[in-house]
Structures are given as C-alpha cells and as structure tokens.
Amino acid sequence: MATQQALGGDRFPNSATLSAEQAGDGASTHVVDRGAAVERPALVSIITTVGATPTCTYALEGSADGASWWAVPHADPATPDTWSVDTFAITTAGTTRRILQPGQPWRFLRITYSANTNVTNTTEITVF
C-alpha cells in the first residue's frame, strides 16, 4: 500500500487516488496523506462500474499515524450539514461523492470496501 500526497497530488492540485479499478473487499490500494491541513474540507469521489446484482459497502477511515483507523465524519452533498460516520452502500454504476468534515484530527485517509459483489471502484480525494 503506497501513501499518496493530497496537497500537490497525482491528479490535480490537491487531489490523489485512493484506488484505481479496485474490485473485491479490503482497504483501498493507497492511503492518502493530507498533511497538517486538518482545517480544510475534502471531497471523496467514488466512480463505480458494475456487473450483475451489484452491491458494495464503503467505510471512510482516518488515522493520525497511519496505523490506528477510525470512521471519518462525512456527508452527502445533497445534505451537506448532516454528518455521519456510518458505512454506506452503492448498488449502481456512476459517481458518488461524500464531503469529509473539516477540522477533524485525521492526517491519513483510506476507504475500506466490503460485501463487494460485482463492483469495481476508482476512488479519489480532493482537499480544498
């Protein structure tokens, strides 16, 4: 698992890839390091391609040290002030976005995929 830098990242300024075309269960291929910019909001984009009867559950997880992980508060862009640390499921092809709550004490971010049936995930983070 490689650590990607979010600030000055690999895709756009302040963006990085957590996983590219990752199938199956488990943690994302990469961990993202947002540095000390904990006051800055971030946006996770999950692009899915699917086969028959698709479903996948997602857990957004943060860490201060890259070793101990916990659920990160996130919100759907449709309800940006409703924060949750719950997992969520995706059952269709498309792009799903989650806003990550600013001011939280995580430096590293990963996403864990579980109960994955016929879903391929590409996940990116942008720090603003």
Alpha carbons 126 and 95: distance in angstroms, whole number: 14
pLDDT at position 59 is 98
Token duo for residue 104 = 């939280």
Chain centroid to CA 111: 5
pLDDT at position 117 is 97
Alpha carbons 14 and 23: distance in angstroms, whole number: 25
User: Could you say which DSSP state residue 104 is in?
Assistant: -
Question: Tens digit of pLDDT for each residue in 98-126?
Answer: 999 999 999 999 999 999 999 999 999 98
Give the residue ranges of the chain where pLDDT is below 50.
9
Question: Token match 């199956």: residue?
Answer: 24
Token duo for residue 123 = 């996940």
pLDDT at position 34 is 84
pLDDT at position 54 is 97
pLDDT at position 6 is 63
